[in-house]
Structure 1
Amino acid sequence: MSNNNQVSYHVTVDDKESIQAIPFNRNVWHCGGSTDPNAIKKGNWLSIDIKICHSKSSGLRYRVAEENAVQHIAKHLKQFGWGIK
């Protein structure tokens, strides 16, 4: 399955909610920086990208957003029977 829109994440999380933009069975374009095209392909196709919206300098809002991301990830690990490796 291809992703012609080249969007950059599956899920975005802030201090209030998480929103899934792209289904997990579709790749997104979030890995890069390698000169090896196969490394980029594997990174984009074999991983799920979750963005946390606040930087660490946002203080409490970042800590809440980070905890929301942890909860969101834990939900999917359980749902799909995935481990942490």
Structure 2
Amino acid sequence: MILFIISQIFYEGFEGNFPPTGWTNTGTRNFKWVRRTSGVIFGAASAGVSVAQTSRDSGTAILQTPAINLPSINPNDTIIFSFYYRLPSVGG
């Protein structure tokens, strides 16, 4: 996952320490956000939710940015949030 605003008010590619400075990473049960370097769509790393292979529980994983100051939003501005969803194979 990569989160950025084209004018670069805010950009995070997850190539550095994880979670990035100022971010919070919380979860319930066996769910947590982790830094990944394989299967990356943009850049050298991404963030993904890791779920224990044996877990069939439901849960929540939250990766929260610090406050982002958007001082001059106008109707023509665009915010892009890229992500993908993949289920792990079960039983092999």
- TM-score normalised according to structure 2 size: 0.28
Greater strand share, 1 or 2?
A: 2
Greater helix share, 1 or 2?
A: 1
* Structure with max Cα Rg: 2
- TM-score normalised according to structure 1 size: 0.30
